[in-house]
């Protein structure tokens, strides 16, 4: 549903009709759009421009998903409808002069929310089209006044909350928006720091102060309200803000604390993967904080059987020595569904669950697949020698040694998948030579591409090149080493040395 073209068209048509109905509500006495058809014509042109803007962005990361499109239009409609209702209430019931209604109206709700939730591009979109539509919806005698007020306060909101990382920053942004709103109100004569009394006898300091506090109070209240409503909006639209990712990065999370005690090797590995993923994501413009946080949790499924993963094993202790290759592969493969189950139980973010599912794609646990094939070859030879019945020969299906997927789709999932492999492989190298590290990373990425693991990924070859350079730079600084698995290679995502010297991807 989130990518359905039918749903997308329905959202566009319904939203534009709703905005059009707001425009088609003239107020008697308007001097600018006093002829109804003029307002409808201009409104139609603005909505048409917005329609094609979003239609052309159907594959865009900001507007490409239907839930995001619904959020964009929903916030724009919500702000304009609220302004319209407040305008009617202030004029009809509080008898506020029409010229001063702008003092009491929140001008930057949509830009503020969309900038925090979808990024600055969405905030700018809402600012531009919302300002133009706002002048029509308000039917003001001075429409350009509303255009400028909404445009400037909206752009201020976009500039202040881009990639905001703390909720308190929203309150600061609200105060700054209020100051800008107040300065514009002074400039256009909606309010004045000094208002002379009709008889010229003195200065109405109380009136001027009341107006200033009203403007600041409205914008502060809106920012505080938005801060409190963000978790609800995130949950409803399936979007995680930078603020929430920062909160999820808390290493005191119960699952992460369990990792430190029950699977310390996995915990340390996850932190290093987080560093690699965050730096690479930042270089290609992906969500770096999300990449880091998801990396922390990508291997939580290993908590079910931590001793079966080499980074948690002590010297000389390897449970796989007592298992068949099929059973060993089953134990390794199970950490993905086990991780998803833990994530569901602890109500982790859906994006984290996606990364847990996708970070191995459908890759092959090569080390145990190779052992199973060697075991089969030995048994077939025994059949030829009359030492074993043919029906006793173990069957080997490659599918039994592959992860069930799905393949990584987002840039962040791809980065974490590659970082997971690269960090493990790096620790099996005996030297810290940049050339050797670079060749290792190149080989890992090439094998993933050949194996079809990046076939559904939203990533370019140029971005992959940037990611590889980032990995090489960071891995050079991770100079510690780790023992390879029985001389055959590494834990997961590493290049495993086979008896004939070939290098194959071993994703565990």
Q: For residue 150, report the phi and psi dihedrals to the nearest 5 degrees.
A: -70, -35
Query: Do the Cβ atoms of 84 and 115 come closer than 8 Å?
Result: no
CA angle, corner 312, sides to 311 and 314, nearest 5? 105
| Statement to judge: residues 462 and 484 lie in one domain | yes
Question: Domain range spanning residue 128?
Answer: 5-235
Query: In the numeric block, which tokens belong to residue 403?
Result: 């992860």
The pLDDT assigned to 352 comes to 97
Q: Are residues 174 and 265 in the same domain?
A: no
Which of residues 184, 208, 235 is at a domain's end? Answer: 235
In terms of domains, do 44 and 162 share one?
Answer: yes
How far is it, in rounded angstroms, from Cα 156 to Cα 505?
50
Q: Is residue 243 part of a domain?
A: no
- On whether the CB atoms of residues 389 and 333 are closer than 8 A, the answer is no
Considering only CA atoms, which of 131, 132, 117, 134 is closest in space to residue 65?
117
For residues 496 and 482, what is the distance between their CA atoms, to the nearest angstrom? 14
Q: Is residue 240 part of a domain?
A: no
Are residues 211 and 118 part of one domain?
yes
Give whole-number Cα distances, 247 to 113, 241, 289, 498, in Å: 18, 10, 10, 44
Q: What is the DSSP string of 20-58?
A: HHHHS-PPTT-SSS-SHHHHHHHHHHHHHHHHHHHHHTT
DSSP-based three-state secondary structure for 228: helix
Kindly state the DSSP code that residue 95 receives in the 8-state scheme.
Answer: -
Give the rounded distance of the alpha carbon of 264 from its chain centre: 28
Answer yes or no: is 241 within a domain: no
Within a domain: 68:
yes
- Which distant-in-sequence residues (6+ apart) come within 8 Å of 100 by Cβ? 190, 191, 211
Residue 345 lies in a domain: yes
Residue 413 lies in a domain: yes
pLDDT (0 to 100) of residue 369: 95
What is the SS3 string spanning 396-410?
Answer: CCHHHHECCCCCCCC
**Domain tally, the chain:** 2
**Residue 473: what pLDDT?**
93
Q: Cα separation of 47 and 16, whole Å?
A: 6
Q: Are residues 495 and 445 in the same domain?
A: yes
The residue count for the chain: 508
Out of 175, 207, 235, a domain closes at: 235
Domain shared by 194 and 290, yes or no: no
Verify that 305 and 168 share a domain, yes or no.
no
Q: What is the pLDDT of residue 48?
A: 63
Residue 293 burial (10 A CB sphere; 0-12, 13-18, 19+): buried
Q: Please indicate, yes or no, whether residues 128 and 29 belong to a single structural domain of this protein.
A: yes
391: in domain: yes
Asked whether residue 361 falls in the same domain as residue 496, the answer is yes
- Characterize 66-93 residue by residue with b for buried, 16 or more Cβ atoms within 10 angstroms of its Cβ, and e for exposed: bbbbbbbbbbbbebbeebbebbeebeee
- φ/ψ of 496, rounded to 5, equals -95, 130
Which of 235, 262, 287 finishes a domain?
235
Q: For 97, left (φ over 0), alpha (ψ -120 to 50), or beta?
A: beta
In a domain, 242, yes or no: no
Q: How far is CA 87 from the centre of its chain?
A: 36
Question: Which pLDDT does position 492 carry in this prediction?
Answer: 42
Does residue 281 share a domain with residue 222?
no
Spans of the chain below 50 pLDDT: 28-34, 36-37, 58, 194-202, 481-507
Same domain (yes/no): 302, 364: yes
* pTM of the full structure: 0.80
pLDDT of res. 387? 85
**Do 276 and 128 belong to one domain?**
no
Nearest-angstrom CA–CA distance, 505 and 508: 10
């Amino acid at each position: 549903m989130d990518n359905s073209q039918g749903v997308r068209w329905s959202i566009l048509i319904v939203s534009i009709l709703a905005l059009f109905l707001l425009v088609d509500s003239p107020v008697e006495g308007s001097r600018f759009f006093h002829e109804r058809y003029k307002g409808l014509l201009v409104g139609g042109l603005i909505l048409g421009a917005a329609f094609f803007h979003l239609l052309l962005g159907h594959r865009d990361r900001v507007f490409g998903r239907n839930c995001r499109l619904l959020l964009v239009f929903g916030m724009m409609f919500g702000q304009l409808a609220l302004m319209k209702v407040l305008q009617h209430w202030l004029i009809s019931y509080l008898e506020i002069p029409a010229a001063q209604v702008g003092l009491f109206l929140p001008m930057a709700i949509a830009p503020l929310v969309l900038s925090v939730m979808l990024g600055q591009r969405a905030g700018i979109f809402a600012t531009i089209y919302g300002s133009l539509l706002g002048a029509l919806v308000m039917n003001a005698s001075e429409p350009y006044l509303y255009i400028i007020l909404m445009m400037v306060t909206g752009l201020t909101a976009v500039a202040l909350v881009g990639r905001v990382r703390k909720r308190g920053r929203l309150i600061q942004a609200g105060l700054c928006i209020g100051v800008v709103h107040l300065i514009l109100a002074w400039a256009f004569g909606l309010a004045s720091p000094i208002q002379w009394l009709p008889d010229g006898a003195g200065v109405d300091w109380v009136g001027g102060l009341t107006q200033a506090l009203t403007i600041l109070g409205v914008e502060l209240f809106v920012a505080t309200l938005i801060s409190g409503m963000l978790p609800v909006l995130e949950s409803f639209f399936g979007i995680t803000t930078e603020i929430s990712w920062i909160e999820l990065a808390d290493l005191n999370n119960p699952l992460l604390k369990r990792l430190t005690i029950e699977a310390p090797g996995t915990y340390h590995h996850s932190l290093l993967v987080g560093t690699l993923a965050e730096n690479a994501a930042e270089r290609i413009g992906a969500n770096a904080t999300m990449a880091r946080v998801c990396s922390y949790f990508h291997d939580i499924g290993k908590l079910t059987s931590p001793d079966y993963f080499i980074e948690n094993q002590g010297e000389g202790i390897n449970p796989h020595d007592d298992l068949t290759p099929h059973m060993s592969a089953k134990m390794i493969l199970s950490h993905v569904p086990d991780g998803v189950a833990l994530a569901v139980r602890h109500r982790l973010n859906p994006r984290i669950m996606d990364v847990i599912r996708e970070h191995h794609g459908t890759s092959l646990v090569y080390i145990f697949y190779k052992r199973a094939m060697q075991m089969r070859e030995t048994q077939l030879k025994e059949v030829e020698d009359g030492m074993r019945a043919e029906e006793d020969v173990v069957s080997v299906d490659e599918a039994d040694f592959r992860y069930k997927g799905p393949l990584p789709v987002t840039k962040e999932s791809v980065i974490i998948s590659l970082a997971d492999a690269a960090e493990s492989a790096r620790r099996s190298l005996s030297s810290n030579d940049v050339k050797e590290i670079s060749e290792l990373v190149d080989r890992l990425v090439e094998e993933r591409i050949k194996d079809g693991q990046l076939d559904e990924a939203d990533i370019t070859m140029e971005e992959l090149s940037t990611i590889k350079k980032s990995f090489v730079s960071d891995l050079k600084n991770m100079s510690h080493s780790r023992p390879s698995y029985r001389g055959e290679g590494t834990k997961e995502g590493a290049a495993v040395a086979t008896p004939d010297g070939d290098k194959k991807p071993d994703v565990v």
